Amino acid sequence: MSGLRLSPEEFDLIRNLVRKECGIAVGDEKAYLVETRLTSLVKEVGCDSFRTFYEFVSRATNREIRDRMIDAMTTNETLWFRDDGPWEILRTQLIPEFFEMLKSGSRRTIRIWSAASSTGQEPYSVAMSILQAIDDLKDPSIKDEQFEIFGTDLSPSALFVANSGRYDPMSISRGLDPASKEKFFDQVGGVHSVGERVRSRVTFKRYNLMDSFAEFGRFDLVLCRNVLIYFAPELKRDIVERIANTLHDDGCFIVGASESLQGCLHRYTMQMCEGQIYYRRKPGGEA
């Protein structure tokens, strides 16, 4: 059982299975990634080769082993307030818009979706940004409960951390400023827990971006950052199209700094804020 090696044929079998299960396109140069991330799971389930493991997963009648394979293959790299651009857009452009929508009565609730939310830092960062803006505004007509933030991810282990809202010193140090830590977290020993005011604004659910979004309803903002790069072009276009269908007219969509909607812009208009790009759904109906 020691010294497992992934052959080219086994690599093709497993990467095709990963793509079928979750849409992630594993590039030709990523055989080492499959081998290093799956070797311990292959051994744990008693398989003597990656081909045997592929056959075992393919025959499995429950989702547990598939979920564990996908969990091992997905990237859960994240941090608080990751990249400056989206937070500038949120604070200077979108949150003031949301406040005006609530005050005018055009919205009773602002709904925000953080797709591929990993261990929760992004949706919690959105909540902290909004709550801080509410405190700064000092307008009693704008209330915490008028904001709903929804986080989804494919990884059960990432969602376990997100739902717990508990972070070790290393995780808490990555991008979180001292003022936010002091205001929005509770500390017990070396563990920082997201405070109830923030937690009450965020709901998490396991979800595969390949599945229908029909049950989600409409959003005012969708963040799907640093994940589209992992999908094949045709699936990326499909996801972007279906995200447009979840947005209100003029609803906003933010992707990662290295991502674009090139080839998908028939549903969106590109916007600039503080030198940063984001997108709005074009008004009027479905595709």
- CA dist 56 and 58 (Å) reads 5
269 HSE (CA, 13 A, CB side) = 9
Write the pLDDT tens digit of every residue in 155-206: 888 888 899 999 988 888 888 899 999 999 998 888 999 999 999 999 999 8
Write the pLDDT tens digit of every residue in 90-145: 999 999 999 999 999 999 999 999 998 988 999 999 999 999 999 999 999 999 99
For residue 286, name the pLDDT band (cuts at 50, 70, 90). low
pLDDT for the residue numbered 76:
64
pLDDT for the residue numbered 1:
42
> Which residue ranges form the domains of the chain, and what is each CATH number?
8-73 (1.10.155.10), 84-281 (3.40.50.150)
**Cβ density class 225-261: b for 16+ within 10 Å, e for less:** bbbbebbeeebbebbbebbbbbbbeebbbbbbeebeb
- CA dist 165 and 188 (Å) reads 13
Write the pLDDT tens digit of every residue in 3-59: 678 888 888 898 888 888 877 777 887 888 888 888 888 888 888 888 988 888 888
- CA dist 235 and 152 (Å) reads 18
- CA dist 47 and 249 (Å) reads 51
Q: What is the DSSP letter of 282?
A: P
Write the pLDDT tens digit of every residue in 231-246: 888 888 889 999 999 9
For residue 75, name the pLDDT band (cuts at 50, 70, 90). low
Question: Is the dihedral angle over the CA atoms 123, 124, 129, 133 positive or is it negative?
Answer: positive
- CA dist 95 and 63 (Å) reads 40
Give yes or no for residue 268 having a pLDDT over 50. yes
pLDDT for the residue numbered 287:
45
- Indicate the residue type of 157: S
- CA dist 67 and 1 (Å) reads 23
Strand partners for 113: 150, 222
Token pair in block for residue 67? 């979920």
Question: Is the dihedral angle over the CA atoms 78, 84, 89, 90 positive or is it negative?
Answer: positive
Task: Note the maximum CA span of the chain.
Answer: 66
